[in-house]
Amino acid sequence: MSKIIIAIDGPAAAGKGTLARKLAAHYDFAYLDTGSLYRAVALTLILSGKPDPSESEAEDAANNLNPAILTDSELRAEATGKLASRVATMQKVRDALKIFQIDFANNPPEGQQGAVLDGRDIGTVICPDAPCKIYVTATDQVRAKRRWMELSARGDERPFNDILQDLIARDRQDQQRAAAPLKPAKDAYRLDTSDLSPEAVLKKAIEIVDSRIK
Ligand code: CDP
């Protein structure tokens, strides 16, 4: 039987991960944070002394990912996110990570009935036939505040304005790249989370998913 796929896309720090994780728990579906794959490529390169990689060096890192890197505490560091966004512009890196994502969606690892994937191109490129697509957004200020809180909790105290400027630059790079640019799929529900609590976002998303899969 084909699996139910929920695609969550949106810009940085819009609340995709929190929502996707909770949706997966609610439906007992598998969850894949696809951003962590791009971050893993970036961190592999940083740790091997290649902070400014060529496309073939980045492709090589993507083809030889060590799963242990996914639990490294530096995965969520700002420098990792920045390089992740750069390697994500490289078509060969995207191609190297594509099969794994498609396979995860169609064959969830523990045999679950469905999968939730969050990223930038899930509804447009990875799972264009997913019945449920949600494009999560929030204002730049709100997203920068969320990222500021996330980084502060990691002990990474950076001025709010630097975080805001980095976030805007990263979104621009994600939206303007030729390879799978960040954009809402035509059939995605656009959910603005600026004024919503995480609980309210989850409630709305469940309504959307239920209306599309029942
Ligand atoms: O958590 P945050 O929103 O900061 O970013 P992330 O989801 O961890 O993704 C890091 C970077 O990977 C993004 O800025 C994108 O450039 C890239 N990415 C992508 O291109 N496609 C995806 N499906 C997921 C992430």
- The pLDDT tens digits of the residues spanning 179-193 come to 999 999 999 999 999
Candidates 5, 31, 38: which one to mutate for ligand 1, based on the most atoms within 8 Å of Cβ?
A: 38
- Mean pLDDT of the 3-20 span: 96
Task: Report yes or no on 30 lying in a domain.
Answer: yes
Q: What is the C-alpha separation between 171 and 85, in angstroms, rounded? A: 9
Of 202, 181, 183, 185, nearest in space to 131 by CA: 185
Task: Report yes or no on 60 lying in a domain.
Answer: yes
Q: What is the C-alpha separation between 69 and 207, in angstroms, rounded? A: 35
Contact call for residues 91 and 179 (beta carbons, < 8 A): yes
Range 114-145 burial, b when 16+ CB lie within 10 A, else e: bbbbbbbbbbbbbbeebebbbbbbbebebbbb
- Mean pLDDT of the 114-125 span: 98
Q: What percent of the chain has pLDDT over 70?
A: 100
For residue 214, pLDDT beyond 80: no
Using CB distances shorter than 6 Å, the residues near ligand 1 are 12-13, 34-35, 38-39, 81, 84-85, 88, 119-121, 170, 174
- Mean pLDDT of the 148-171 span: 92
In the Cβ-directed half-sphere of 125, how many Cα atoms lie within 13 Å? 19
Confidence category of residue 156, pLDDT binned at 50, 70, 90 = confident
Q: What is the C-alpha separation between 145 and 53, in angstroms, rounded? A: 30
Nearest C-alpha to atom 13 of ligand 1 is from which residue? 85
Q: What is the C-alpha separation between 151 and 107, in angstroms, rounded? A: 34
Task: Report yes or no on 208 lying in a domain.
Answer: no
Q: What is the DSSP letter of 3?
A: P
Q: What is the CATH number of the domain that holds 127?
A: 3.40.50.300
- Give the number of the atom of ligand 1 that is nearest the alpha carbon of residue 76: 8
pLDDT given at position 122:
98
Confidence category of residue 197, pLDDT binned at 50, 70, 90 = very high
pLDDT given at position 74:
95
User: pLDDT (tens digit, 9 = 90+) per residue, 97-119?
Assistant: 999 999 999 999 999 999 999 99
Q: Considering its fold, how many domains does the chain have in total?
A: 1
Task: Report yes or no on 209 lying in a domain.
Answer: no
User: pLDDT (tens digit, 9 = 90+) per residue, 21-57?
Assistant: 999 999 999 999 999 999 999 999 999 999 999 999 9
Going from the Cα of 214 to the center of ligand 1, the distance in angstroms, rounded, reads 30
Q: What is the C-alpha separation between 23 and 71, in angstroms, rounded? A: 22
- Mean pLDDT of the 155-173 span: 93
Q: Hey, what's the torsion of the CAs at 205, 211, 213, 214, to 10 degrees?
A: 140
Find the DSSP H helices in the chain. Answer: 16-27, 35-47, 55-63, 78-87, 91-106, 140-153, 160-176, 198-213
Find the domain containing 43 and state its range: 4-196
Task: Report yes or no on 71 lying in a domain.
Answer: yes
Going from the Cα of 147 to the center of ligand 1, the distance in angstroms, rounded, reads 13
Residue 187 identity (one-letter amino acid): D
Task: Report yes or no on 169 lying in a domain.
Answer: yes
Higher pLDDT, 2 or 207: 207
Handedness of CA 40, 42, 47, 48 (dihedral sign): positive
Nearest C-alpha to atom 10 of ligand 1 is from which residue? 35
Task: Report yes or no on 9 lying in a domain.
Answer: yes
Task: Report yes or no on 212 lying in a domain.
Answer: no
pLDDT given at position 193:
96
pTM of model > 0.85: yes
pLDDT given at position 123:
98
- Mean pLDDT of the 10-31 span: 96
